[in-house]
């Protein structure tokens, strides 16, 4: 028997047409992937190209700017008390210099713990830590000395360094040499002095503001109390006999971080971790003052 297959031809053609239609979008998608990842950018169809910016170039992804450093544009002078070389230059450091209202020795060797850890070594260590912390906040930091000179500088030159830098704040780092049982820190502020070449009129107020903030933050960072032998428990002491303060024309304070001659305080001052806390407290005080 003869079978007429002509009725099956259209059906086969329909299946082929459907298969071909399905291949078109798949091929187009594959071509687009190649064009984006491998092919030249000009081969992309208009609808697949990045939207142009105002100048015709593709828009870049937005970048969030970094927040400004809190102390950017500020200058801080750190004055590490004494100098490790002072011990070898007694004649030079005993020369008298003008401190504005009278004369005083150029510098001293400073004190030390009973075990021989010197104030000069302590002040440099804390000053280096303080410098790092302030630079991390964007401040420009100047040291009056970094054991990079035979002795000194003399107290009048220390003041001039801060003045020449037009410092926003100056901190002189020290440790005290009082008697056993006298414990704690204190911050020395300039008194109102006007005579000879000294005139602290313009810095008394700002220096007190700086000193109050340093005292507060130092206590918080170190967990130590204000001195029990000076300042009436406030942690603040006002003096008119220090050339470094009398000759300053910018806000300046001294920080006596503790008493090296007391065994309990000495245990703190010789501890590396505690010195980092001390630097952190001073830095926080300076930063708070400069940002107020």
Q: Is the dihedral of CA 219, 223, 226, 227 positive or negative?
A: negative
Beta bridge partners of 194: 199
Query: Of the residues 119, 157, 212, 256, which is catalytic?
Result: 256
Task: Find, among 187, 167, 139, 192, the residue nearest to 250 by Cα.
Answer: 167
Q: Cα–Cα distance between 80 and 290 in angstroms, integer? A: 20
Q: Cα–Cα distance between 200 and 198 in angstroms, integer? A: 7
SS3 35: helix
256 included as an active-site residue: yes
Q: Is the dihedral of CA 235, 128, 133, 291 positive or negative?
A: positive
Catalytic annotation, residues: 256
């Amino acid at each position: 028997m003869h079978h007429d297959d002509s009725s099956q031809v259209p059906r086969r053609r329909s299946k082929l047409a459907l298969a071909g239609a399905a291949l078109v979008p798949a091929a187009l998608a594959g071509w687009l992937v190649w064009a984006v990842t491998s092919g030249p950018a000009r081969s992309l169809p208009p609808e697949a190209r990045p939207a142009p910016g105002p100048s015709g170039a593709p828009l870049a992804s937005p970048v969030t700017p970094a927040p400004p450093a809190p102390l950017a544009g500020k200058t801080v002078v750190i004055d590490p008390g004494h100098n490790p070389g002072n011990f070898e230059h007694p004649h030079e450091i005993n020369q008298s210099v003008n401190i504005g209202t009278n004369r005083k020795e150029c510098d001293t060797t400073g004190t030390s713990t009973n075990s021989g850890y010197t104030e000069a070594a302590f002040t440099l260590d804390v000053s280096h830590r303080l410098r790092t912390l302030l630079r991390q906040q964007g401040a420009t930091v100047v040291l009056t000395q970094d054991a990079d000179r035979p002795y000194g500088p003399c107290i009048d030159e220390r003041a001039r360094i801060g003045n020449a830098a037009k410092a926003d704040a100056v901190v002189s780092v020290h440790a005290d040499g009082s008697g056993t049982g006298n414990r704690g820190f204190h911050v020395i502020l300039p008194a109102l002095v006007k005579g000879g070449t000294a005139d602290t009129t313009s810095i008394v107020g700002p220096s007190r503001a700086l000193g109050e903030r340093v005292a507060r933050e130092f206590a918080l960072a170190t967990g130590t109390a204000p001195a029990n032998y000076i300042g009436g428990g406030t942690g603040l002491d006002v003096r008119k006999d220090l050339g470094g303060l009398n000759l300053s024309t910018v806000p300046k304070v001294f920080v006596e971080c503790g008493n090296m001659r007391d065994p309990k305080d000495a245990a703190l001052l010789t501890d590396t971790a505690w010195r980092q806390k001390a630097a952190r407290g001073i830095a926080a005080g300076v930063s708070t003052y400069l940002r107020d």
